[in-house]
Chain A
Amino acid sequence: MTALLFDVLLALMLTVLAWRVVTTRELLQSVVLFIAYGLLMAIAWTRLDAPDIALAEAAIGAGLMGVLLLDTAGELRRRHGWRSEGGDDDTA
């Protein structure tokens, strides 16, 4: 029962985090949420009995991607003051 509750909660949090990552207007915040999403995802993989993938997800999805995205976001902000302000759906 507790396991089921935990799984449902995990799934819900993943969904909410994913939604927030996409809709957040602040770039840096979005990156942080993405890292959190990656870590939760690693937990989800563990729950699915896939420790290999959990390891890879934590290392690559949260760790490496997090560093790359953080650095990029920070750099963009420092150099151009470029914040995601909506309306540029059309780039990416």
Chain B
Amino acid sequence: MTRHDATLRRRRRRALLRVRIVVAGAGALALALLLVAAVLELPEGPLGLAEEAAAQLAHTGVDHAVTAVLLNYRSYDTWLEVGVLLLAVMAIFALRGGAHLENVRPAPRRDPLLTWLTRLLIPMLTLTAGYLLWLGKFAPGGAFQAGVVLGAAGAMLRLSGTPSLDRIGDVAIRILLAVGFLAFLVAAVATRLAGLDMLELPPGRAGDIILMVETLATISIATTCAVLVMAMPGAESPPAIAAKDVRKEART
């Protein structure tokens, strides 16, 4: 490559960059203006279905509107979202080269202080998770929050080298992961078989059913979070796809 070519190339790159900045900047600005104008033009007053959702709250089995929406009014959406979590785990398994954790070696024991701290924190985290789960009936809380806290406990066990999910068998892990999705599935099939609308909860027993489904969902969410941390590419086991290849592919 001659010097002349190099100069040309540099100029070309600069010109392209300029075009990009101008276009992207103008576009982003215009989009932002559009959104602001749209929001300013929104109708005044109480938003959407909040009032109606509150009005029907007595028939939902829970006292907190958000939980009612998530697990009664729109439980179908929540079911699909739990499905998203299951899919995330499957995607991780796909990257690792198998739907099993047997080649995850136990983490080396770290320093004793961490172990001590873990021992102290795990019961507290578990308790918090249970509280959050139960709280969902009346106040902000519920399966997702509880699941993440419980999952954090699992991850912590793993990071400190204490026996954790990796001691649980392959089949059991899969059951724990799927149990949330299955809970909704069973509810859907059972309600159909009982002659109700799909996923319709009879008002009298709605509270219990919701708590049960939420508990199972919490278990799945917690397991999912813990497995995500355990099975990450950073963990000891070699991932199915060599990072070297990925780098090479990314450059092309």
Contact = CB atoms under 8 A, between A and B. Distances in A.
A55 B141 contact: yes
A91 B246 CA distance: 9
Given A55-B140, A63-B152, A68 B229 contact: yes
A59 B229 contact: no
| Chain B interface size range | 20 to 34
B148 A56 contact: yes
Contacts of B232: 68, 71-72, 75
A72 B155 contact: no
A22 to B, nearest CB: 12
B186 interface: no
Interface in A7-61: 51-52, 54-56, 59-60
A52 B66 contact: yes
Given A52-B66, A88-B250, A90-B250, A71 B152 contact: no
Contacts of B43: none
Interface string B125-144: 00000000000000011101
Given A56-B145, A68-B228, A82 B233 contact: no
A56 B155 contact: no
Contact of A59 (B145, B155, B243, B250): B145
Contacts of B145: 52, 55-56, 59
Contacts of A88: 250-251
Contacts of B151: 64
A79 B152 contact: no
B46 interface: no
B149 A59 contact: yes
B148 A67 contact: no
Given A59-B145, A68-B228, A71-B234, A52 B247 contact: no
B243 A80 contact: yes
A60 B148 contact: yes
Interface in A60-92: 60, 63-64, 67-68, 71-72, 74-76, 79-80, 82, 88, 90-92
B219 interface: no
A64 B234 contact: no
Contacts of A63: 148, 152
29 contacts: A52-B66, A52-B140, A54-B140, A55-B140, A55-B145, A56-B145, A59-B144, A59-B148, A59-B149, A59-B152, A63-B148, A64-B152, A64-B225, A64-B228, A64-B229, A67-B229, A68-B228, A68-B232, A71-B232, A71-B234, A72-B233, A74-B234, A75-B234, A76-B243, A80-B244, A80-B247, A82-B247, A90-B250, A91-B250
Interface of A: 51-52, 54-56, 59-60, 63-64, 67-68, 71-72, 74-76, 79-80, 82, 88, 90-92
Q: Which 7 A-B pairs have the closest CB atoms?
A: A75-B234, A91-B250, A51-B140, A59-B148, A71-B234, A52-B140, A52-B66
Given A55-B140, A68-B228, A82-B247, 13 more contacts: A55-B141, A56-B144, A59-B144, A59-B152, A60-B148, A64-B152, A67-B155, A68-B229, A74-B234, A75-B232, A88-B250, A88-B251, A92-B250
